[in-house]
Structure 1
Amino acid sequence: MDALLLSRIQFGFVVSFHILFPAFTIGLASWLAFVEWRWLRTRDPLWRDLFFFWTKIFAVSFGMGVVSGIVMSFQFGTNWAVLSERAGNVLGPLLSYEVLTAFFLEATFLGVMLFGWNRVSEKLHFLATCMVALGTLISAFWILSANSWMQTPQGHAIVDGVFHPVDWWAIVFNPSFPYRLAHMVLAAFITTCFVIGGVSASYLLRGAHLDAARRMLKASVLFAAIAVPAQVVVGDLHGLKVRDYQPVKLAAMEAHWEHKPKGEGVPLVLFAVPNEAGERNDHEIAIPRLGSLILTHSLDGEIPPLKAVPPGERPPVAPVFYAFRVMVGLGLAMLALALASLWAWRRGRLFESRAVLQGWRWMTLSGFVAILAGWYVVEIGRQPYVVYGLLRTADAVSPILRAPSVLASLIVYVLVYAVVFGAGTWYLRRLVRKGPVPHEPPPRSEHGERTPARPLSAPEESLEDEAAAREGA
């Protein structure tokens, strides 16, 4: 438990919390834009009630994501000073672009979206909601670009051990970036989809908020039927890029230790206990040739095995192997649930089938687990490098760090996060438990002015009405 390992654990702990909230808000912001668009088109008050319900959940989730992101950024200076010094010329501008474009855009329009209802025009309010949704996507663009460059670095020159940008186009659009961006954005949308579907299924099972629940479940089933198969295709394309640029990571994902006899192909290992000391798999259950078909699109294709590189160049095999199977397993379960829901819908039993509704309820948080599992595959799989093939993690840690100080800060993080995010999660659960309620105008104060009735409420009068009232006075 030296400073390096503790720093890795600390960063992994913080980023595991942080990634959940931005991923959820990326999908939730687009859902809010869709719901408000439907209300503007139909004037159905139920769409308006759903907008206010999910807006509250978005606001709390967005706040927790910002807090955890600020804490994470500090660690680049405290724990990973050498990484900041050597790769800061590349990573610094990319992260700054995220702040200058996405964060400013979100901050500008977030207040209008949360508090501007009936205070600005309907079109302006809808524009603000769309801009918040766009800001979350732009944020994902820059963050994924920076992380993808660390996975497949391009467009730089190394002078005295320091990375200098040479071609920003190659840096931003590095080989893995388009596939990882599509994979992550789809994962965020699917995560939100299953939260909405799981919440609506819970309402139906409880017999509460039935009209809203039916509407949300229909939307979730339709979106899952489109997005989950698309994610399978994007995931396959992403895997092919991993094969081309990070073959050792791919070998760890498949626990593929050595070359098979020529023409035998690579089996698909369904389950095994990777034995890194013995460089083999124990208790292996595999399907012959299926690995070759998936990884190379050929029955006898080969991929480089783990033994092709020295042990010091390999990532930890077991966590990468298991996390990848958790992610894929959940993806297949999502696909099966989406297909079963479509079948039940076609038979007119979508809202009466307890098996389908229980499936959605059980899968409510499955997207978060899949995102974490996929992130562990990506980050642990590139070890022992922090900039793949060029800068080792052991060489990127701050040299003056001492294990006791890192351990103390890690303990503080765990305690503070338990309180802050525990309270936030408890409040989110209360909001979900209450469910969507008819949106009513807030009460008037003693002076005749409207006052907020609850968090995120806003006065009904528009700015134009207030200006006219002042002129009349």
Structure 2
Amino acid sequence: MFDGLDPVLLSRIQFAFTISFHILFPAFTIGLASWLAVLEWRWLRTGNPVYAEVYRMWVKIFAVTFGMGVVSGVVMSFQLGTNWSVFSDRAGNVLGPLLGFEVLTAFFLEASFLGVMLFGWNRVSPRMHFSATVIVAVGTLISAFWILSANSWMQTPQGFAVAKDGLFYPSNWLQIIFNPSFPFRFVHMVTAAYLTTAFVVAGVGAFYLWRSIYLRHARVMLGMAMIMAIFVAPVQLLLGDMHGLNTLEHQPTKVAAIEGLWETERGAPLRLFGWPDQEHEITRYAIEIPRLSSLILTHSLDGEVKGLKHWPRNERPPVAAVFWSFRIMVGIGILMIVTGLSGLVLFLRKRLFDTRWFQYWCMALTPAGFLAVLAGWLVTEVGRQPYIIQGYMRTADAGSPLLSTPVAMSLTAFIVTYSFVFGAGTYYILKLIANGPDTEDDAYGSHGVKQPPLITTLGSEKGGRHV
């Protein structure tokens, strides 16, 4: 039934499907863990129970999301052995230790102190509980550090030698870990995670304001989210520009695909929109701004930017996917900046929490961060094709010797299973949001008066209460 399909292509689709699910969870938990730490710090500083109540609501969501992230990450690890055994064999000496370091330094740390976060309310002091929250937040950043180091090494490999047997052997671990694209990719991804969380929180806060429920909690959510949008979204634009300049230096074919640029040009225009026709090597229906691409990429109006024709056809990535994914990512980033500026204006006018159109706007942008992250990863991963390790190993040579039918069947099983499991997880998260914060008792009452543990509230089915 599937014999005519390419098993490598099916394996790529399968890995893309599973990693697309997985990346959503770290992108959320990295930002959410740090925000929870800020919430608990504010509670300890002010004694305002609203911060504790918001914390206890979102820590449940964090626990569910963290669990789904772990499950989806384990699945990807298995795929490296089942579908990409040649890649694992050749690059395992480099990537294996990096992924092992992530488990030893980050995952164990997160898993250990997550228990204190969830079940330590009546067992440890408030400051000890806050320390556990901070440790989990740091653990998520350490995890991102190692995973992005491994991925960045595949994009800009260095610090290794290729032996006669074709295996990659590390020669300088510092060069491997801190490869040329890693600092830019790490900061860009972590910032994206913070913005993803901010817009989810803003959307929930706006929903509560729109429904006129949990008003004090909603103001905390929306207000803190807008602080992130005001200050961090513009910074992300600058970080993206720096990352783009690094990519131009080390992966110029990816940049040419992003720009939809076929001919090497001086004073290259910026193509806002168009349709890259890879067969005829032209971007049709292009809407251009003269010289702007050269200005952005080279900081000169007459700077030279190499076009895709500079490289053979078999060295070019799928241009349309990279071109449009990049524009989706940048477009969402601009919407985030506009949202932050709008929130600032409304705050100065004392209308931030009662402007209906802004509530609708924030609710509509709730998934914006996830969409931007997915689009960004499509640019990153599709843009380096045809290589799995840039310049050294092609994706077509990295797959396991598999037949098409078992790969297609496992792909189908993944789609069905993920739809059920993660659909149920998403439903439960939405249920927690609908239930809202538990306002009947505080995390510690009046600083140190211990209340029932958090686990007793995990299954709460109480509806929203007007405040």
Q: Shared topology, TM-score over 0.5?
A: yes
In percent, how many aligned pairs have the same letter?
57
Is 1:67 matched with 2:71?
A: yes
What is the CA–CA distance in structure 1 between the aligned matches of 2:312 and 2:39, rounded to whole Å? 54
Shift, 1:455, TM fit: 2.1
Shift, 1:456, TM fit: 7.7
Match of 2:330 among 328, 331, 349: 328
What is the CA–CA distance in structure 2 between the aligned matches of 1:208 and 1:388, rounded to whole Å? 52
Q: Secondary structure at the match of 1:411?
A: helix
Is 1:175 matched with 2:177?
A: no
What amino acid sits opposite 2:229 in the alignment? A
Change (3 A) 1:87 1:439: farther
- Measured against aligned partners, the alpha-carbon deviations of 1:351-407 in whole angstroms (never above 9, x if no partner) come to 1222222211111110000000000000000000000010000111112x1100000
Shift, 1:259, TM fit: 2.2
Match of 2:371 among 365, 369, 372: 369
Shift, 1:439, TM fit: 4.8
Q: Secondary structure at the match of 2:230?
A: helix
- What is the aligned partner in structure 2 of residue 412 from structure 1? 413
RMSD over aligned Cα atoms:
1.4
Is 1:125 matched with 2:129?
A: yes
Shift, 1:101, TM fit: 0.3
- What is the aligned partner in structure 1 of residue 264 from structure 2? 259
Is 1:225 matched with 2:226?
A: no
Match of 2:346 among 335, 344, 347: 344
Is 1:31 matched with 2:32?
A: no
Change (3 A) 1:439 1:171: farther
- What is the aligned partner in structure 2 of residue 396 from structure 1? 398
What is the CA–CA distance in structure 1 between the aligned matches of 2:123 and 2:189, rounded to whole Å? 35
Q: Is the CA contact (8 Å cut-off) linking 2:53 and 2:442 kept in structure 1?
A: no
Q: Is the CA contact (8 Å cut-off) linking 1:114 and 1:456 kept in structure 2?
A: no
Shift, 1:314, TM fit: 0.3
Match of 1:206 among 187, 205, 211: 211
What amino acid sits opposite 2:40 in the alignment? E
- What is the aligned partner in structure 2 of residue 455 from structure 1? 458
Change (3 A) 1:94 1:425: same
Match of 1:54 among 52, 58, 61: 58
What is the CA–CA distance in structure 2 between the aligned matches of 1:378 and 1:196, rounded to whole Å? 27
Shift, 1:409, TM fit: 0.2
What amino acid sits opposite 2:6 in the alignment? D
Is 1:80 matched with 2:81?
A: no
- What is the aligned partner in structure 2 of residue 236 from structure 1? 241
- What is the aligned partner in structure 2 of residue 429 from structure 1? 430
Q: Is the CA contact (8 Å cut-off) linking 1:49 and 1:438 kept in structure 2?
A: yes
Q: Is the CA contact (8 Å cut-off) linking 2:52 and 2:442 kept in structure 1?
A: no
Q: Secondary structure at the match of 1:257?
A: coil
Match of 1:97 among 85, 98, 101: 101
Shift, 1:454, TM fit: 3.2
Q: Is the CA contact (8 Å cut-off) linking 1:90 and 1:165 kept in structure 2?
A: yes
What amino acid sits opposite 2:239 in the alignment? V
What is the CA–CA distance in structure 2 between the aligned matches of 1:395 and 1:31, rounded to whole Å? 43
- What is the aligned partner in structure 1 of residue 16 from structure 2? 12
What is the CA–CA distance in structure 2 between the aligned matches of 1:454 and 1:244, rounded to whole Å? 52
Q: Secondary structure at the match of 2:116?
A: helix
What amino acid sits opposite 1:45 in the alignment? P
Q: Secondary structure at the match of 2:456?
A: coil
What is the CA–CA distance in structure 2 between the aligned matches of 1:259 and 1:139, rounded to whole Å? 40
- What is the aligned partner in structure 1 of residue 160 from structure 2? 156
Match of 1:107 among 111, 115, 119: 111
Q: Unmatched 5+ residue regions in structure 2?
A: 444-450, 461-467
Q: Secondary structure at the match of 2:352?
A: coil
Q: Secondary structure at the match of 1:272?
A: strand
What is the CA–CA distance in structure 2 between the aligned matches of 1:436 and 1:10, rounded to whole Å? 38
What is the CA–CA distance in structure 1 between the aligned matches of 2:442 and 2:341, rounded to whole Å? 41
What is the CA–CA distance in structure 1 between the aligned matches of 2:296 and 2:333, rounded to whole Å? 16
What is the CA–CA distance in structure 2 between the aligned matches of 1:172 and 1:85, rounded to whole Å? 20
- Measured against aligned partners, the alpha-carbon deviations of 1:230-268 in whole angstroms (never above 9, x if no partner) come to 1011100000000000000000011100023x5xx1111
What is the CA–CA distance in structure 2 between the aligned matches of 1:165 and 1:152, rounded to whole Å? 14
What is the CA–CA distance in structure 1 between the aligned matches of 2:355 and 2:236, rounded to whole Å? 26
- What is the aligned partner in structure 1 of residue 464 from structure 2? none
Change (3 A) 1:154 1:236: same
What amino acid sits opposite 2:117 in the alignment? M
Q: Is the CA contact (8 Å cut-off) linking 2:122 and 2:452 kept in structure 1?
A: no
Change (3 A) 1:405 1:60: same
What is the CA–CA distance in structure 2 between the aligned matches of 1:357 and 1:450, rounded to whole Å? 34
Q: Secondary structure at the match of 1:398?
A: coil
Shift, 1:450, TM fit: 6.7
Q: Is the CA contact (8 Å cut-off) linking 1:293 and 1:299 kept in structure 2?
A: yes
Q: TM-score, normalised by structure 1?
A: 0.93
- Measured against aligned partners, the alpha-carbon deviations of 1:301-335 in whole angstroms (never above 9, x if no partner) come to 12111000111000000000000000000000100
Q: Is the CA contact (8 Å cut-off) linking 1:29 and 1:136 kept in structure 2?
A: yes
- What is the aligned partner in structure 2 of residue 465 from structure 1? none
What is the CA–CA distance in structure 2 between the aligned matches of 1:74 and 1:230, rounded to whole Å? 37
Q: Secondary structure at the match of 1:274?
A: strand
Shift, 1:141, TM fit: 0.1
- What is the aligned partner in structure 1 of residue 307 from structure 2? 305
What amino acid sits opposite 1:424 in the alignment? G
Q: Is the CA contact (8 Å cut-off) linking 1:194 and 1:366 kept in structure 2?
A: yes
- What is the aligned partner in structure 1 of residue 321 from structure 2? 319
What is the CA–CA distance in structure 2 between the aligned matches of 1:302 and 1:329, rounded to whole Å? 25
- What is the aligned partner in structure 2 of residue 469 from structure 1? none
What amino acid sits opposite 1:386 in the alignment? I
Shift, 1:441, TM fit: 8.0
What is the CA–CA distance in structure 2 between the aligned matches of 1:234 and 1:259, rounded to whole Å? 26
Q: Secondary structure at the match of 2:457?
A: coil
Match of 1:379 among 378, 381, 385: 381
Shift, 1:416, TM fit: 0.2
Change (3 A) 1:450 1:205: closer
What amino acid sits opposite 1:295 in the alignment? L
Runs (4 or more) in structure 1 with deviation over 6 Å come to none
Match of 2:252 among 225, 240, 247: 247
What is the CA–CA distance in structure 2 between the aligned matches of 1:123 and 1:215, rounded to whole Å? 22
Q: Secondary structure at the match of 1:157?
A: strand
What amino acid sits opposite 2:147 in the alignment? I
